[in-house]
Amino acid sequence: MDATNIISLFGGVAMFLFGMSVMGDSLKKVAGSKMEMILYKLAGNPIKGILLGTGVTAAIQSSSATSVMVVGFVNSGLMSLLQSVPIILGANLGAASTPWILSLSGVSGGSFILHLLKPSTFTPVLALIGVVMHNFSKSTRRKETGLILLGFAVLMYGMEIMSGSVAGLRTDPAFTGIVAAVSNPVVGIVVGALITVVIQSSSASIGILMALSATGGIPINAAIPIIMGQNIGTCISAALAAVGASKDAKRAACIHFLFNLLSAVLLLPVYLTVYNLAGWTFGMEMVDPVEIALINTVYKLISVIIFMPLSKLLVAISRKLVRDGAEDAVLLDERLLATPSVALEQCLNVERDMAELASNGVRAAMEQFTDYNEKTAEKIESWENKVDEYEDKLGSYLVKLSSCELLRRDAVRVSQLLRCLSDFERVSDHSVTILRSAGELREKKISFSPAAEAELKVAFAATDELLEKTNAAFCRGDSQAAVEVEPLCKVISALCEKIRAAHVERLTKGECTIETGFVLVDILTALERIGGHASNIAGCVLEIGKQELYLHEYLHLVRHGTEFERRYADYAKKYTLE
């Protein structure tokens, strides 16, 4: 093997890795957003978990990506450690699909169908289609599909270059000596693991093995140990992802490693037994790319069958290796940024929690006027602090997420979450304003007149329903609740004006005091501003449903329609001061 062949080999590996990267990234954008959400939402019983792990890995063509994704889920508390085990097993099984695709490079024969299956026949066609779709299509999805085809074409071309560069190795004495060395099971496992660790891609590692097998110089007794080692080496990605993560995330990475290591430990004696019983000639039979894919699939399938009922045992061992300690789940794990659709879903969950805390704070603050409680007051203050923390962390995280490569609908969603974020934080601020007004009345030992209390009770009831409608709109995407928000805001604004006017009238009659008037004005101002923030949030919800409709357009339409007037009249009748 001369210098030219060595350069061709490394060039082929480089093209293979580049093609795999382009194809994998585009697959994650096109299919991955759905696959990731299915994985996140539907992980349940072991069988379902294995099927999900297999399906997602086959769809995005990367067991490492799936494993890293699972580590991120566990680290954020989205998935329990036990739930992660079947998905990790499935990810390993799903990775068996890649070698079957690569085995097309070994297709030979003179028939027309076999000729079509040869990479040299279909790769140029796929590359041409990919270039046309990526350069001339306006659809983001079609552009990404074009990149999938281009990545696959480059990958297969890299595979052909690798195969061509090593074609003459079968008769090379140096290569024969290396093959003899890796025929030792332990050496073969170590070599397979090291190659995979170095290039951090089991697909590329097995691609190199398949290219070598195409020379007819790789016997069974060398191929099987190397495949076992490659499966161990692929754990490096999950291990790196777990650095600095929570203990359960480290345990998930540990389970991934244990599964592949114990599979090799258990199945190696089985292989050696079969090898010794079959005799020397069995081990020296040469394998081709298709047989490499078959061996890899059978090995992974047997491993999954063995460990499928042992999930709890793997979890127990991982807990022994990674000891317990006081630790909270990470609110927003930056590892999830590698899977933007899942990171976006987690952001939505956090903002939903934020919305609930803000509205609960306002409700609790309004109740303080009738039944003041120090513990409740402390709770409202702690909720407000929590909302401030959410705003700070979620705002920074959403900015980072917005810099990722997002589908258009996800980019729009990130923008909406950022816009609603400050509104929820301000609603929470107003809960403290209302609470302090209640505290001021208590400290100064003053109170509103019965008429003012009755009027505030109506305004509080309307605000309570407004918060309910706003949260239903945001948390559940309820567009019907969203269109109810604006007329209710107008009713609350009108109520506040009437209450101010009524207070001035009572003040002239000596029924109220200036001191209580200041407190009353603070409360009414807070209620009106809560209404303004609720209106912004409802507008954003409707804007998500109709991406061409902007907030100012929405407000103009809803304030000048017969439906709006009907809803306003209904709420005005429901919340009247008379």
pLDDT at position 458 is 94
- When pLDDT is cut at 50, 70 and 90, the band that residue 194 belongs to is confident
d(CA 498, CA 578): 11
Whose CA is closest to 311, among 258, 243, 270, 269? Answer: 258
Lowest-pLDDT range of 231-245, 287-301, 343-357, 421-435: 231-245
**Comparing 158-167, 269-278, 357-366, 405-414, which segment has the lowest mean pLDDT?**
158-167
| Among the ranges given (219-223, 400-404, 548-552), the one the predictor scored with the smallest mean pLDDT | 548-552
* Maximum alpha-carbon separation in the chain: 112
| 577 pLDDT above the threshold of 80 | yes
The model's pLDDT over 42-74, given as tens digits with 9 standing for 90+, comes to: 555 677 778 877 877 776 666 766 777 777 777
In sequence order, the β-bridge partners of residue 286 are 219
Residue 133, judged by CB atoms within 10 A of its CB (0-12, 13-18, 19+), counts as buried
Q: Look up residue 400 and give its two tokens.
A: 């980072």
Quote the CA–CA distance of 436 and 442 in Å, as a whole number: 10
- Which candidate, 295, 167, 306, 154, places its Cα nearest to that of 231? 295
Question: In this structure, are residues 228 and 47 in contact, taking their beta carbons and an 8 Å threshold?
Answer: no
Average pLDDT over residues 334-350: 79
Question: What pLDDT is stored for residue 549 in this prediction?
Answer: 43
d(C-alpha 219, C-alpha 207), whole Å: 16
pLDDT at 329 exceeding the cut of 70? no
pLDDT higher at 103 or 364: 364
Which pLDDT does position 433 carry in this prediction?
94
Q: Is residue 21 over pLDDT 80?
A: no
570 burial class (0-12, 13-18, 19+ CB within 10 angstroms)?
middle
pLDDT for 43: 55
Mean pLDDT within 301-306: 90
Please give the pLDDT value at position 277.
77
Q: For residue 163, give the nearest of 8, 285, 15 by alpha carbon.
A: 8
Res. 36: pLDDT tops 60: no
321-345 average pLDDT score? 70
Query: pLDDT tens-digit profile of 96-107?
Result: 887 887 776 655
Query: In the block, which residue shows the tokens 């902007």?
Result: 550
Query: Count of alpha carbons within 13 Å of 108, Cβ hemisphere only?
Result: 5
The model's confidence at residue 457, banded by pLDDT at 50, 70 and 90, is: very high
Helix (H, G, I), strand (E, B) or coil at 315: helix
Q: What is the pLDDT of residue 548?
A: 45
Q: Percentage of the chain with pLDDT > 90?
A: 19
Dihedral sign (CA 504, 508, 511, 517): positive
Residue 367 has pLDDT above 70, yes or no: yes
pLDDT at 520 over 80: yes
Share of the chain above pLDDT 70, in %: 80
Give the model's confidence band at 454: pLDDT under 50 very low, under 70 low, under 90 confident, else very high. Answer: very high
* Backbone angle region of 450, left / alpha / beta, with phi > 0 → left and psi within -120 to 50 → alpha: alpha
φ, ψ of residue 279 to 5 degrees: the values are: 100, 170
Residue the block writes with tokens 């939402």:
41
Exposed (0-12), middle (13-18) or buried (19+): which is 375, by Cβ within 10 Å? exposed
pLDDT higher than threshold 90 for residue 79: no
The whole-number pLDDT of residue 547 equals: 47
The amino acid present at 323, given as its one-letter code, is: R
Mean pLDDT computed over every residue of the chain: 80
User: 215 or 174: which carries more pLDDT confidence?
Assistant: 215
Name the most confidently modeled range: 121-125, 145-149, 259-263: 259-263
Integer CA distances (angstroms), 146 to 26, 127, 322, 404, in order = 9, 8, 44, 20
Nearest to 464 by CA among 362, 337, 352: 362
10 Å Cβ neighbour count for 231? 28
pLDDT: is 548 or 22 the higher one? 22
Q: Are 393 and 325 in contact (CB under 8 A)?
A: no
The answer to whether residue 554 scores a pLDDT higher than 60 is no
Question: In Å, how far are 237, 353, 431, 467, 479 from 357, measured between CA atoms?
Answer: 37, 6, 10, 11, 22
- Does residue 320 carry a pLDDT above 70? yes
pLDDT in tens, 396-443: 999 988 888 777 778 888 888 888 999 999 999 999 999 999 999 989
Overall average pLDDT of the 167-196 stretch: 72
Comparing 413-417, 486-490, 505-509, 546-550, the range with the smallest average pLDDT is 546-550
* Separation in Å, CA 13 to CA 94, 179, 206: 22, 20, 11
Helix axes 551-558, 514-545, angle to 10 degrees: 110
DSSP state of 219: B
In sequence order, what DSSP letters do the residues of 11-54 get, joined into one string?
HHHHHHHHHHHHHHHHHIIIIIHHHHHHHHHH--SHHHHHHHHH
Tokens 């306003």 belong to 568
CA separation for the pair 40, 511 (Å, rounded): 60
pLDDT digits 0-9 by tens, 125-180:
888 888 888 888 877 778 878 887 888 788 777 777 776 666 555 555 666 667 66
Place of tokens 């299509």: 137
The β-bridge partners of 219 are 286
CA distance 233 to 110: 38
Supply the pTM of this predicted model. Answer: 0.65
More confident residue, 11 or 141: 11
